[in-house]
Structure 1
Amino acid sequence: MSRPRTMSARLAEVRESFWLVPGMFAVGAVAVAGGLSMLELQLDLPVEGILPSNPAGARSLLSSIITAMISFTALVFSITVVALQLASSQYTPRVLRTFLQDRIIQATLGTFVATFLFAMVVLAALPARDGERFPELSLAVSMSLVLASTGIFIYYLHHITTVMRVSHIIASIGAQTRRSIARLPAPDEPAAMVRGEVTQTVPAPAPGMVSNVDLPLLARLAREYDCAITVVPAPGDFVVEGAPLVRVHRVVGATDRPVPTDEASQGVTIGMERTPGQDVGFGFRQLADIAERALSPAVNDVTTAVRAVQEAHDLLRRLATRPDPVHVVRDDDSTVRVRVDGVRYDLLLAMVVDDIRLVADQQPRVARLLDAVLRDLATVALPAHRAAIACRMSPAAHSSH
C-alpha cells in the first residue's frame, strides 16, 4: 500500500492519528514526574505536610494507584470498543474514523495513561529507607491526577453517549463535509483544460483509495520539467495497481523531459480507506450507507433514514450552485500546470437519490422526501446540473414541479 511520503502528508497523517494526544500526555507525565521528583530531592523544597506519610505508606498508595489505573483504563476502553463496534454495525463501519479522531476520547485515554505513568515514575523515585526525604509534592500531584481522572471519566461517559447517538453522528458527518466543500476552488474560477499531447503516463504503484493530491508538489514538478500534469482519478476513487495515475502533457514551446515516476507518484497518496478533506463524496457515501442500513428489514428505522436524507439535502443544495469542482494550478502567465477533477454532481445525486430510492420502495415517507429534495434542488441548481436532477424525479414530482 502506498504511504504518504511527502513531509506535509506525513504531518497530516500524524495529526489525524489516534495515538498523538495520548502519546503527548504519556511523554509529558514521565518528564514532569521525573523532573519534579529530582527537584524535590535535590533542592529540598519546603513542601512538608502537603501529604504526610512515610516511604512505606507512599509506596503502598502509589502501587494502589498504578494497579487501579491499569484496570480502570482497560475496563473503560474495552467497553467503549464494544459499543463502537455495535454502532458501526448498526450505522456504517466508516463512522469509526469519526470516533477515533475525537479529541475528547483521545484526551481521556491520555489522562488515564498519564496518571499511571506519573505514579510509576514517582514510585521509582521513592527512597529505600525510612527517615530519608521522599517526594511529597509528587505524591500530592499523583493524587490530584487520580481526582482529575475521576472527573474526566464522568465527562467521558456523557460525551461518549452523546457522540454515539445517530443524530450526532449524522450532524458530525455533515459538518465534516461542509468543511470539505469550503475548501473547494472558488466557483467563479475558470476550469481550464490541459490540451497538450500526453507524453508520459505514470501508473499507480499500488491498489487503494486516492485520499489526497499534493497540488504544490505536482506544480513544482510541472514547472521543473516544463510540462503540465493531470491526475486521472479523483480523490475518493479506487485505483488498481498499474492503472493510469498521472498523465504528463507537453507544453507549447517546451522540450520533452520525462518526469521521474517516483516523484510524480508521491503527489498522489493512496491509502486503505477513504478520508475526508479533498474527498467531498466521502460524507455523502456515509450518509447514504446510514440511510440504507436504516431502511433494511433488519433495522427498519425510517426516522434515521429521513434524518440522513435531510443532512444530504443541505450538502447537495450547497453544491447545486457551484460547478463541478476542478483544482487548477496556473503560472503567472495563466499556463495550466496541474489539473485535478473532483467528484461530479451527478455522482453525488446517484449516491443519495438512486441508492436510497432503490431500498425505499416500500417507504413512501422516504420516497416523498427524496422527491421534495429534488424539487428544491431544481430551483437553485446551475443549468449544468438540472438535467441530472430532472432525470431522477418521479412522475409525481414532475407534475408538482
Structure 2
Amino acid sequence: MPDRSKIAARASGLIGRLCSRMWVVPVLCLVGGVGLCLGTLAIDRATGYRLLNKGLIGTPSNAQSILSAVAATMTTLIPLVLTITTVAVQLAMGQFSPRIVGALLHDRISQWAMGLFTATFAFAIVAMRNVQASRNGLPGLTVLTAYVLVLASVVCLILYVHHSSRSLRAAGLIDLVGDHTHREIDRLYPVEPEERSAPRSDITEALPTAQTGVPHDVLNTGEPGILIRFDLARLVQLAARADCVLETVPVMGDFVHGDSPLFRVRGDMSRLDQAALRRAVLLGDERTHEDDCAYGIRKLVDITERSIAVPFNDPTTAVQSIDRLHDCLRQLACRPFPSGRHRDKDGTVRVITRSLTWDGFVRLALDEIRLAGCSTPQVTRRVRALIDDLKRLAPPERQDPLDRQLRLLEAGVRRAYDDEEDIATALTADYQGIGSGSDITR
C-alpha cells in the first residue's frame, strides 16, 4: 500500500514548485481556452446549431470578422502584460532590490491577466476555424462565449492597468513584500502554537539515553543549492522508523554546499534510509517566502539600505520600508516561538530544527539599517519610534535586544553629529521620520 503521507508531501512540493512558475497559469489557460471552445462547439452540434437566435449573435460573416479582430487584439495584449512586467522588474532591480523580482514574476494578477488573454486568443482561433467550416449553421453558443471572453478581457485589462500602476510605485513594491512576509509570520508563528518555545540547552536532556552519543552526519551528495523546505512529516517518519533523532544543520535560506552536512543523527545510522532522508530536503537556486519569513525581512532591509545610499538618497522610501519592518516585528514581539522539536505519534522528539530567535529577528531588521542610517535623521527618528513601541509591547524577557539597539542607535547618532540639538532631534521618536515627532507637533 503506498505511503499516503509521502505521496501527499511530494504532491504538495510539486504543486508549490509549479505555482512559483510564471508560465504555468498562462499555459493552463491556453489549454482551457481550447477545451472550452471544443466543448461549446460540441453543444452547438448536438443542438443542431439552433440553441441561440441569430439576432443575438449576428451572421456568420459578422462572427468571423469579430473573432478575427479578437485574435489580433489578444496577440497585442499578451506582449503588453509582458512589457509591463519587464518594466516593473527593471525598476525593482535598479532602485530597490533584485530579490523583489521573484515576487513580481509570481504576481498572480499578472499571471491570470496573461492567462485570460491567452485563453481568449486560443478560443477565438479555434472558433473562427469552425465558423468558417460550418455549413449547417452558426455555432451560436461558441460565438456568444467568445463575446463574453472579450468583455471579460476588457474588464481584466482595465483592472490590470490599475494594478500595474499601483505595483510600479515604491509603496506598492514594499507592500508586495510586506504582505507576503505578514502572511508567512501568521502561518509560522501562530498566536497559539501547539508547542511553545524551549531553550536550546535542554535538547539533549529530552532525548532517550541511547540517542545522546556522538552524532553522525548525513551529507548532501546532490547538487548544491539554497535550503527552501524540509518535509518535516517525512523526516519524523524516517527518524521514528530508525529509532533515532535528526538535528538539521542548515537553517532555512542557507546555501548548502555539496558534501556538506544536512543532518546530525543521534542513534543507529544503519537503520536510517539516507537516500529518502535527502529526498525530504528541497534545495533551490533562490530563497522563497514559504517557510522563510526572514527572507521577507531581508528584502525590506535591502530596500531601506539602498534607499538611503548614494545615488538614490530617498529617506522617505526608507521610512516606508521601516514601517513594514515595524509591522513584522510587532507581530513577532509577543508570540511564542516554535521550539523546533518535532515529535512522532508517541510524543518522542524525532527531528530538531534550527530557526531565528527574537534577538535574531531584531538584529536582522535593525543592525544594518542603524549602521547605514545614523547620519539620516528621518531614519534614526523612525527607528527610535519603532524601538520605543516594541519596548512597550514586548514581554520582559525580550527587552534586552531592544535595549541593545537603543543603546547602539544613540551611540551612532552621537558619532554622526557634533551639535547637541541635532543629536536630540535625530533621537526623537517619529513615525513619519520627520512629521509626527513630539518636538514638532502639539
Q: The TM-score by the shorter chain falls in which range?
A: 0.7 to 0.9
Structure 2 CA distance, aligned partners of 1:319 and 1:198? 35
1:172 aligns with 2:189: no
Structure 2 CA distance, aligned partners of 1:47 and 1:82? 44
| Contact 1:361/1:367 (<8 A) preserved | yes
1:337 aligns with 2:350: yes
Match of 1:200 in 2: 216
Aligned residue runs from structure 1 range 113-192, under 5 A: 113-128=118-133, 132-184=136-188, 186=193, 188-190=196-198
Structure 1 CA distance, aligned partners of 2:409 and 2:289? 36
Aligned residue runs from structure 1 range 1-20, under 5 A: 6-20=10-24
Structure 1 CA distance, aligned partners of 2:41 and 2:350? 58
Match of 2:32 in 1: 28
Aligned residue runs from structure 1 range 215-230, under 5 A: 215-230=232-247
1:246 aligns with 2:263: yes
Aligned AA for 1:188?
R
User: 1:119 Cα deviation (Å)?
Assistant: 0.7
Structure 1 CA distance, aligned partners of 2:11 and 2:83? 34
1:92 aligns with 2:100: no
Are the structure 2 counterparts of residues 89 and 326 from structure 1 closer, same or farther at C-alpha, using a change threshold of 3 Å?
farther
Aligned AA for 1:318?
Q
Structure 1 CA distance, aligned partners of 2:47 and 2:408? 85
Match of 1:234 in 2: 251
Structure 2 CA distance, aligned partners of 1:75 and 1:184? 37
| Contact 1:294/1:301 (<8 A) preserved | yes
Structure 1 CA distance, aligned partners of 2:313 and 2:398? 32
Aligned AA for 2:362?
L
Match of 2:292 in 1: 279
Aligned AA for 2:265?
V
Aligned AA for 1:39?
I
Are the structure 2 counterparts of residues 357 and 90 from structure 1 closer, same or farther at C-alpha, using a change threshold of 3 Å?
same
Show CA shifts across 1:361-391 (max 9, x none).
3202212322332343344445554333333
Are the structure 2 counterparts of residues 62 and 243 from structure 1 closer, same or farther at C-alpha, using a change threshold of 3 Å?
same
The secondary structure found in structure 2 opposite 1:39 is: helix
1:81 paired residue among 75, 80, 86: 86
The secondary structure found in structure 1 opposite 2:57 is: coil
User: 1:279 Cα deviation (Å)?
Assistant: 0.8
Structure 1 CA distance, aligned partners of 2:44 and 2:12? 42
1:52 paired residue among 50, 58, 74: 58
User: 1:165 Cα deviation (Å)?
Assistant: 2.3
Structure 1 CA distance, aligned partners of 2:399 and 2:257? 33
Aligned AA for 1:108?
A
Match of 2:306 in 1: 293
Are the structure 2 counterparts of residues 309 and 79 from structure 1 closer, same or farther at C-alpha, using a change threshold of 3 Å?
closer
Match of 2:360 in 1: 347
User: 1:281 Cα deviation (Å)?
Assistant: 0.7
1:212 aligns with 2:220: no
Match of 2:3 in 1: none
Structure 1 CA distance, aligned partners of 2:246 and 2:364? 29
User: 1:325 Cα deviation (Å)?
Assistant: 4.1
Deviating more after overlay: 137-146 vs 283-292 = 137-146
Match of 2:317 in 1: 304
2:379 paired residue among 366, 371, 381: 366
Structure 1 CA distance, aligned partners of 2:38 and 2:248? 51
Structure 2 CA distance, aligned partners of 1:325 and 1:397? 33
| Contact 1:198/1:247 (<8 A) preserved | no
Structure 2 CA distance, aligned partners of 1:351 and 1:376? 18
Please provide the CA RMSD for this pair.
2.8
Are the structure 2 counterparts of residues 93 and 233 from structure 1 closer, same or farther at C-alpha, using a change threshold of 3 Å?
same
1:72 aligns with 2:71: no
Deviating more after overlay: 115-124 vs 354-363 = 354-363
Relative contact order (alpha carbons < 8 A, sep ≥ 6): 1 or 2 greater? 1
| Contact 2:332/2:358 (<8 A) preserved | yes
Are the structure 2 counterparts of residues 76 and 375 from structure 1 closer, same or farther at C-alpha, using a change threshold of 3 Å?
closer
The secondary structure found in structure 2 opposite 1:270 is: strand
2:403 paired residue among 390, 393, 396: 390
Are the structure 2 counterparts of residues 329 and 62 from structure 1 closer, same or farther at C-alpha, using a change threshold of 3 Å?
same
| Contact 1:41/1:133 (<8 A) preserved | no
User: 1:282 Cα deviation (Å)?
Assistant: 0.7
Are the structure 2 counterparts of residues 112 and 312 from structure 1 closer, same or farther at C-alpha, using a change threshold of 3 Å?
same
Are the structure 2 counterparts of residues 234 and 382 from structure 1 closer, same or farther at C-alpha, using a change threshold of 3 Å?
farther
Structure 2 CA distance, aligned partners of 1:123 and 1:302? 55
Are the structure 2 counterparts of residues 326 and 208 from structure 1 closer, same or farther at C-alpha, using a change threshold of 3 Å?
farther
Match of 2:45 in 1: 41
The secondary structure found in structure 1 opposite 2:340 is: strand
Structure 1 CA distance, aligned partners of 2:47 and 2:101? 49
Structure 2 CA distance, aligned partners of 1:233 and 1:69? 47
Give the number of aligned pairs.
392
| Contact 1:201/1:244 (<8 A) preserved | yes
| Contact 2:214/2:266 (<8 A) preserved | yes
Are the structure 2 counterparts of residues 258 and 111 from structure 1 closer, same or farther at C-alpha, using a change threshold of 3 Å?
same
Structure 1 CA distance, aligned partners of 2:308 and 2:187? 32
Aligned AA for 2:341?
V
User: 1:153 Cα deviation (Å)?
Assistant: 0.4
Structure 2 CA distance, aligned partners of 1:116 and 1:396? 58
Structure 1 or 2: more helix by fraction = 2
How does the TM-score come out when normalised to structure 2? 0.80
Match of 1:321 in 2: 334
| Contact 2:380/2:409 (<8 A) preserved | no
1:264 paired residue among 261, 265, 277: 277
User: 1:75 Cα deviation (Å)?
Assistant: 2.9
User: 1:236 Cα deviation (Å)?
Assistant: 1.6
> Structure 1 residue runs of 4+, over 6 Å off?
398-401
Deviating more after overlay: 76-85 vs 211-220 = 76-85
| Contact 2:224/2:283 (<8 A) preserved | yes
The secondary structure found in structure 1 opposite 2:258 is: coil
User: 1:147 Cα deviation (Å)?
Assistant: 2.2
